[in-house]
Chains A and B, each alone.
Chain A
């Protein structure tokens, strides 16, 4: 048994094992307090709610590993969603065909990627601080969306989009499948490719990376562009789920994505961070929220619990060495 857990620990890393333990603990606690918690319906609702936050968190993860941040994730997702909405509306709205959808998705990804790339250029080539550059980009993109929509929402899309937003394949919600595929791709990109390696090295030490022949500026621009495309994917998924797009939709998720990254053990100074623990921390956050929901609490209590939960985990992590030293001294 112990060799089995050791092997699991080697494969997934200690971080994931600890978080999986926490996840199991939350599931057990809620299933004891609420009989509906372990029902199919509840897991379905988790499966439909998690992917939006999940995709946005992936978009936040890559820049943080590069010792940056992308505070424009929600604004980019909204503007990309609007792009798809306009292309659908230009091609008949509810009667738009699959081709219009495909073109719209490509355009949305292009808009997301371009927004990210512009931000990346300001950060990499002009040396602006990522917090400030992405904050300014967020204000600009939100403003652009407000200017173009006059603050209203766009709706009236073809019925087949509902198959994506609310569909189920082999018992698994389609948004969850989209998120799972995106998470695996993101993991491959960050852990298995030359670019992913460059991103982590830049996050650790940009100057040493430059001297080692890593194209620092190009890689930084690319990481923000890819982050923008991931935002676009989130925006597209949100459009299919809610059947409408509005600037400001999902604003409350912005800092939750950062919270999820830090809960998943991503180093705030950059250089270190993996998709798997972040995925588990998203599961924990969504489980906490659904469980509290079943107990009759509202989203605001969940928000508070998320914050307190992050504090508890960080306090525990910072005291772990002290606790271990204490344990060792007692054993001696």
Chain B
């Protein structure tokens, strides 16, 4: 336990902040700790957590991906078309299609990054534009509302009490978190992802198949993007091609807030969950406290700014004025 506290300082700190915030909101608002509110917090943020743990694997491997949210939109659209072509399908078909399309898009990124040695941020900004532009151009921005019933029906998987049903996306979130945790913490591949992210050249010399590792990392994010997209349709009950663009930056901020290091080699599934939830609870709390919705974004931005300033704040180093890290970590 003491070891855990020492090695996961960031997660512990985030957990304490989140717990204190929730305690305060529980005292300040009678509705915060109701089953309905907690369930809707989890239901509405499950998709972001699914994406965040996918992005986590890429961040640990020392990369970055800007394209996954528009990739999820592409996967959603293709899945809807493919399901239509097979006459409706079922959840198994949906998972297979969305996962396969997502993985394919992730492999496009991986082949540019590992195959042609294009820096990940350059490659994924390019594919971000290409994916989104092609999606909007070929679909003319048309939404799909005619979806199979199994896809859009609400499925309650657990109950937190009266009026507090957890829906399918939460189950997807738990599965995604468990699978990602298993991948990065309990497999040889996972250790190799950390090693590659921490020191690519060192990992290569130690015998890590670096190209394979990058395909696994971007493929995993692609899979999560596809599954997250599938779950998001279950929530929104429609496929809108430009509904997800922009979410990539929110998810990135949450994942990094949760301790994933831009530059590779560090990050945890629990941290991702806490990072997403901190932003979600701040927004939920502002809502319950009756703050004007127009002020939400401003206060969330301030929260993130305060969090990153505090988490990087080292008083001694600042006073000593010596050379420290300037946050300039290379992104491969």
Chain A interface (Cβ within 8 Å of chain B)? 67-68, 71, 122-133, 135-144, 146-147, 150-151, 202, 206-207, 210-211, 216-217, 220, 251, 255-256, 258-259, 262, 268-270, 297-298, 300-308, 310-311, 314-315, 318-319
Contacts and interface: CB of A to CB of B under 8 A. Distances in A.
B4 interface: no
A143 B296 contact: yes
Contacts of A137: 301, 305
B121 A268 contact: yes
The SS class assigned to the A binding surface is helix
A-B pairs, top 3 by smallest CB distance, nearest first, are A140-B301, A304-B133, A143-B297
Contacts of B141: 300
B129 interface: yes
A318 B294 CA distance: 46
B117 A318 contact: yes
11 contacts: A127-B314, A130-B327, A136-B304, A142-B301, A147-B294, A151-B294, A258-B121, A270-B328, A300-B132, A301-B133, A302-B133
B130 A311 contact: yes
B256 A129 contact: yes
Contacts, number: 180
B253 A132 contact: yes
Contacts of A303: 129, 132-133, 136
B305 A133 contact: yes
Nearest to B136: A300
B301 A307 contact: no
B312 A146 contact: no
Contact of B301 (A138, A258, A298): A138
Contacts of A297: 137
B137 A300 contact: yes
A132 to B, nearest CB: 5
Interface of B: 64, 66, 112, 116-119, 121-123, 125-134, 136-137, 141, 246, 249, 252-253, 256-257, 262-263, 292, 294-302, 304-305, 308-309, 312-314, 318, 323-331
A131 B252 contact: yes
Nearest to A131: B262
Given A127-B325, A127-B327, A129-B329, A259 B136 contact: no
Nearest to B256: A132
A101 to B, nearest CB: 28
B301 A269 contact: no
Contact of B305 (A140, A300, A304, A308): A140
B126 A314 contact: yes
Contacts of A151: 294
Contacts of A130: 327-328
Contact of A139 (B118, B301, B325): B301
Contacts of A210: 323
Contacts of A220: 326
A315 B117 CA distance: 8
B133 A147 contact: no
B298 A255 contact: no
B132 A136 contact: no
Nearest to B121: A268
A310 B327 contact: no
Contacts of A305: 133
Contacts of B249: 71, 135, 138
A270 B121 CA distance: 13
Interface centre among B117, B123, B309 (most CB of A within 10 A): B309
Nearest to A267: B119
Contacts of B129: 255-256, 259, 303-304, 306-307, 310
Given A143-B301, A259-B125, A122 B137 contact: no
B122 A128 contact: no
Nearest to B307: A136
A144 B298 contact: yes
Contacts of B134: 300, 304
A296 to B, nearest CB: 12
A258 B67 CA distance: 14
Contacts of A315: 112, 116, 118
Given A124-B326, A142-B301, A206-B328, A301 B121 contact: no
Given A122-B305, A311-B127, A314-B123, A142 B116 contact: no
B122 A268 contact: yes
Given A125-B318, A307-B133, A206 B308 contact: no
A310 B122 contact: yes
B227 to A, nearest CB: 24
Interface centre among B112, B252, B328 (most CB of A within 10 A): B328
B309 A128 contact: yes
B123 A311 contact: yes
Contacts of B137: 297-298, 300-301, 304
A126 B262 contact: no
B294 A150 contact: yes
Contacts of A150: 294
Given A124-B326, A128-B308, A206-B328, A139 B297 contact: yes
A110 B330 CA distance: 31
B253 A135 contact: yes
A303 B323 CA distance: 42
B308 A122 contact: yes
A128 B130 CA distance: 30
A318 B292 contact: no
A76 to B, nearest CB: 13
Contact of B297 (A133, A142, A304): A142
Contacts of B331: 268
Contacts of A300: 132-134, 136-137, 141
Contacts of A128: 308-309, 312, 327
B125 to A, nearest CB: 5
A67 B302 CA distance: 24
A251 B245 CA distance: 11
A300 B134 CA distance: 7
A179 B7 CA distance: 51
A266 to B, nearest CB: 10
Contacts of B112: 311, 314-315
Contacts of A302: 133
